[in-house]
Amino acid sequence: MSEPDLTTTEPRPVYVIGAGPGGLAVAAALRARGVRAVVVEKSGSVGASWRGHYERLHLHTTRRLSALPGLAIPRRFGRWVARADVVRYLEKYAEFHALEMVTGVEVTRIERAADGEGWTLHASGGRMLAAGAVVVATGFNHTPALPDWPGRAGYTGRLLHAAAYREPGPYAGQDVLVVGAGNTGAEIAVDLVEGGAARVRLAVRTVPHIVRRSTAGWPAQRTGILVRRLPVRFVDRLGALVARASVPDLSAYGLPRPPAGLYSRVRQGAIPVQDVGLIEAVRRGRVEPVAAVASFDGDAVVLADGTRITPDAVIAATGYRRALEGLVGHLGVLDERGRPLVHGPRTPARAPGLYFTGFTNPISGMLRELARDAERIAKALSRRERRTRSRTGPRP
């Protein structure tokens, strides 16, 4: 991977911020169209988020439907690719496409260039980077979000975000409370049980939809692809029928079927939990669903139903923030929740030449949609560059 001269202003390349799957895919798609792209990554290597995830993690999407443009994921990685193999794939991807990479440099603010053409990127070390266009790919799981529970600051027990969890060894023989019943919380709870934790409770604020990762060889991802453009109410009914046929009723164990439809919840940003052992662990009493966390009091955790418990550790699988406010918040391109107003090949009307990828969590699979976005963004940017060249003539 070559490192470009960061002070170069002519020609102005496309700067891609973030060397995760989304950023690498866009850079490769641009390179394939003859558009120069430079990937800037604040960490020292590609795939920083994937390197930091817990060891047990596998893709919930199939290998064949998770490849990025221009390079298949090796068959030897299996159908459900492990975290470490995702990292290996991303390393090989950057090498295979000979991407221009700058690591160890953080872009902190993006502004319109003084001449009105392109963008100026403020980066660590006092660098000022001149870009013809910018693609922001800093990731869906950027900054761990920990709720400001009453009494949290004075809690004397061990509390950590799921981002700091790696493997179950340190929790063997302990009483652990996992907070959050999304995919991360569910999988960590199962990991703890299988790793020898003495007791594992799962604090549930909103009951999730649970789906089988694969049924008779048919992956849930393919269903997600097929139904994503169908009417919401129709998919909700279909999802309820499938759930009754394939997922046992866990109401007696504290996990009733959700009142809201599956796809209605997806449209609100809640992706179903893919079962990687949670159903069986709950039925056997090895993972105990409990009420949501209401507050902390000294060494105790107070649940919403008034129960007080004193676990050895609390692992908060409470999600992440996009943390885009400092980077682009002043440009008026974010909604009230801090998410980009547009993504993929669309560019904000007030910020032409600024693109976002990887800030949605689609039912059809994150990596699949990143790959599709990359091709669309590259097509839009190559058209934009052709228009610029026809107007100004080729750059020296």
Residue 62 within any structural domain of the chain: yes
Structural domain for 20, as ranges: 14-142+322-392
290 & 170 share domain: yes
122 & 44 share domain: yes
Asked if residue 1 has pLDDT above 80, the reply is no
Provide Rg for the chain, Cα atoms: 23
343-352's contacts with Cβ under 8 Å and 24+ in sequence apart are 343/373, 344/373, 344/376, 344/377, 345/373, 345/376, 345/377, 345/379, 345/380, 347/380, 351/112
Distances (CA, A) of 190 to 38, 202, 204, 288: 40, 10, 15, 11
100 & 219 share domain: no
Asked if residue 396 has pLDDT above 50, the reply is no
Residue 387: the pLDDT is 72
Residue 117: the pLDDT is 84
pLDDT class of 388 with cuts at 50, 70, 90: low
Token representation of residue 69: 């443009």
Residue 205: the pLDDT is 95
227-230's contacts with Cβ under 8 Å and 24+ in sequence apart are 227/263, 227/363, 228/362, 228/363, 228/364
H/E segment holding residue 183 = helix 183-194
Residue 7: the pLDDT is 47
93 & 184 share domain: no
Express the helix, strand and coil content of the chain in percent, nearest 5 each: 35, 25, 45
Q: Can you give the pTM of this predicted structure?
A: 0.91
Residue 8 within any structural domain of the chain: no
191 & 288 share domain: yes
Which of 288, 319, 350 corresponds to the end of one domain? Answer: 319
Residue 1 within any structural domain of the chain: no
User: For the chain, what percent of residues have pLDDT higher than 70?
Assistant: 95
Residue 268: the pLDDT is 84
- 289-345 per-position pLDDT tens digit: 999 999 999 999 999 999 999 999 999 999 999 999 999 999 999 999 999 999 999
Residue 108: the pLDDT is 97
Residue 5 within any structural domain of the chain: no
Domain count within the chain: 2
Pick from 80-84, 137-141, 204-208: least confident:
137-141
Pick from 100-109, 259-268, 286-295: least confident:
259-268
382 & 358 share domain: yes
Which of 319, 345, 375 corresponds to the end of one domain? Answer: 319
150 & 279 share domain: yes
- 361-378 per-position pLDDT tens digit: 888 999 999 999 999 999
CA 46 to chain centre: 15
130 & 149 share domain: no
Residue 3: the pLDDT is 46
Asked if residue 213 has pLDDT above 80, the reply is yes
Residue 251: the pLDDT is 96
Asked if residue 34 has pLDDT above 90, the reply is yes
210 & 239 share domain: yes
CATH value at residue 203: 3.50.50.60
Distances (CA, A) of 53 to 162, 197, 366: 9, 20, 16
312 & 186 share domain: yes
CB 317 within 8 A of CB 306: no
Residue 392: the pLDDT is 57
Asked if residue 95 has pLDDT above 50, the reply is yes
299 & 332 share domain: no
Residue 2 within any structural domain of the chain: no
Asked if residue 85 has pLDDT above 80, the reply is yes
333 & 232 share domain: no
Other residues' Cβ atoms within 10 Å of the Cβ of residue 386: 11
Residue 7 within any structural domain of the chain: no
Please give the sequence-ordered ranges of beta strands (E in DSSP) within 257-321, or none if there are none: 273-275, 287-291, 293-297, 300-303, 308-309, 313-316, 320-321
Report d(CA 129, CA 23) in Å as an integer: 17
Residue 270: the pLDDT is 87
Which of 297, 319, 341 corresponds to the end of one domain? Answer: 319
Q: Is the peptide bond before 11 cis (omega within 30 degrees of 0)?
A: yes
